[in-house]
Structure 1
Amino acid sequence: MITDPLFYAVAIPAVVLMGISKSGFGAGFGAIVVPLMALTVPVPQAAAIMLPLLAIMDLMGLAALMRQADWTLLRRLIPAALLGTLIGTALFGVLSSRTVAGVVGAITLVFLAIRLAWPPRADSPPPPAWLGTLLGTVSGFTSFVAHAGGPPISFYLLPLRLAPITFTATLAVLFTAVNFSKWLPYGWLGLIDSRNMATSLVLAPFAPVGVWLGLKIVRRINPTWFYRLFHLGMLLTGVKLVWDAWA
């Protein structure tokens, strides 16, 4: 397993942050976890180490939130996101990690700017179904390459003005399906090895901590503040990813 203390100094807070993100509170911050870990290990290795931890977080979130999810949305989003993972498998290794970081960061900032410049009114129609399919596919792709699927799909979900618990539950079910679909292609690409899995095992006790903290908060937070914090997470995520691409 990895023994570098600097890696764990970065990885442990990153795992807790991802757990909080997976439970919905601060969900916009989840996309920066792999780039943070990539300060000490390559992006593909960081993604592989996170995969078993995401499985733990997903199962915890699924058990707590599955009944609150919007299954009408999920019937459209899950197939689209799985298509995105297939595209990610095909392009993995072709696109550099810096390119992926820059694309995800730019998409995040553009989406956020549009959202803030033209906020939906109470009488605004919901986004078209085709946009959900498109952004679901983009989300599956960015999730595959860097566990950064939250920002694209959030651009579609945010205007729907779902209750925080429904928003969180819908994302939880979506990314459980996406993350479990990654195991076979990650193994085929050679990312599932004993060193990465042993490192994941060391970090595993920290995964439930973040989920527990996030679930405690998301059930109590005012919807207005929930979405303000989500927007802040998207802003910081976008800036960090663009910085990683150009630094």
Structure 2
Amino acid sequence: MLQLDIWFFALAAPAVVFAGISKGGFGSGASFASASILALVLEPGLALGVILPLLMMMDAATLKPYWGKWDWRVSALMIAGGLPGVALGALLFARTDADVFRVLIGVISIAFVIWQVGRARGWIRLAERALPQWVGAVTGCVAGFTSFVSHAGGPPAAVYLLSLRPGKTEYQANTVLIFTAINIFKFVPYAFLGMFTAQTFVANIALAPFAFLGAWLGVRAHHMVPERAFFLLTYVLLVMTGSKLIWDGLT
């Protein structure tokens, strides 16, 4: 049951602003931290249902600044791969309970931190040459699945995108376009699976200004703010929330 009280908005509003900043300015996929935070106090399906329309608002707000700066061929390949991944996520959601999704969201949260730290320290090395197109389709499928179950499609997509050595802005533009499409794909199964309710609709209306504020700040931060401090906060949040969700799901 979603209680739209002051405590919900005290947690949800900064989480949504944080998601907007990440989605608008940094191509790491860290915007999914907002779903992880809300899943601490909501049933995971409701947390995902609250966040998806807000992510779609952020998509709309961030498409224009990056319009035409993406690689159409690369984006189309990963979008096509994302469709079966979304279908797999919907099938899993229909057949499992909330605790499975708590654990999944928690594991993905901590795996994201390991991935980012590993890349920064050289423990994880990406391909030095551009990966073949079939890898793009496979990583698109994985991105569609992880995006469905936790809004965390960024890291799988990065495996292929970063191998192509795009510039910072082209990389961000590709992720904006890819996840705009994947979020549209997710909307229909989310609706059929009961992840949207009258209360999530009211929450979306109330939180919409925070989504647009975060996206606006993120586009500007993309050009002005170093990523180090932003991601340090992200890592702390994700380790804490991920650990708690795994504990809750297992106990």
For the aligned pair, the TM-score class normalised by the smaller chain equals 0.7 to 0.9
2:155 aligned with 1:151: yes
TM value normalised by structure 2: 0.84
Give the counterpart of 2:219 among 192, 215, 221. Answer: 215
Give the counterpart of 1:117 among 115, 120, 123. Answer: 123
Q: Residue 146 and residue 73 in structure 1: after superposition, are their counterparts in 2 closer, same or farther (change >3 A)?
A: same
* Mapped partners of 1:198, 1:109: distance in 2: 32
Q: Residue 112 and residue 132 in structure 1: after superposition, are their counterparts in 2 closer, same or farther (change >3 A)?
A: farther
Determine the structure 1 residue equivalent to 2:207: 203
Unaligned runs of 5+ in 2: none
1:39-78 superposed matches below 5 A: 39-78=40-79
Once structures 1 and 2 are overlaid, which stretch shifts more, 160-169 or 74-83? 160-169
* Mapped partners of 1:245, 1:4: distance in 2: 26
Shift of 1:3: 2.6
1:1-247 superposed matches below 5 A: 2-25=3-26, 27-93=28-94, 94=96, 96-105=100-109, 107-109=111-113, 111-112=115-116, 115=119, 116-119=122-125, 124-220=128-224, 225-226=226-227, 232=232, 235-236=235-236, 239-240=239-240, 242-243=242-243, 244-246=245-247
* CA distances 1:22-60 after superposition (whole Å, capped 9, x unpaired): 113374421211110122211111111112211211111
Shift of 1:239: 2.8
Q: How many residues align?
A: 241
TM value normalised by structure 1: 0.86
SS of 2:177 mapped into structure 1 = helix
| Aligned partners of 2:126 and 2:162 also within 8 Å | no
* Mapped partners of 2:198, 2:42: distance in 1: 16
Q: Residue 69 and residue 229 in structure 1: after superposition, are their counterparts in 2 closer, same or farther (change >3 A)?
A: farther
Q: Residue 202 and residue 144 in structure 1: after superposition, are their counterparts in 2 closer, same or farther (change >3 A)?
A: same
* CA distances 1:84-109 after superposition (whole Å, capped 9, x unpaired): 11111111142612231244235435
SS of 2:131 mapped into structure 1 = coil
* Mapped partners of 2:180, 2:224: distance in 1: 24
| Aligned partners of 1:18 and 1:210 also within 8 Å | yes
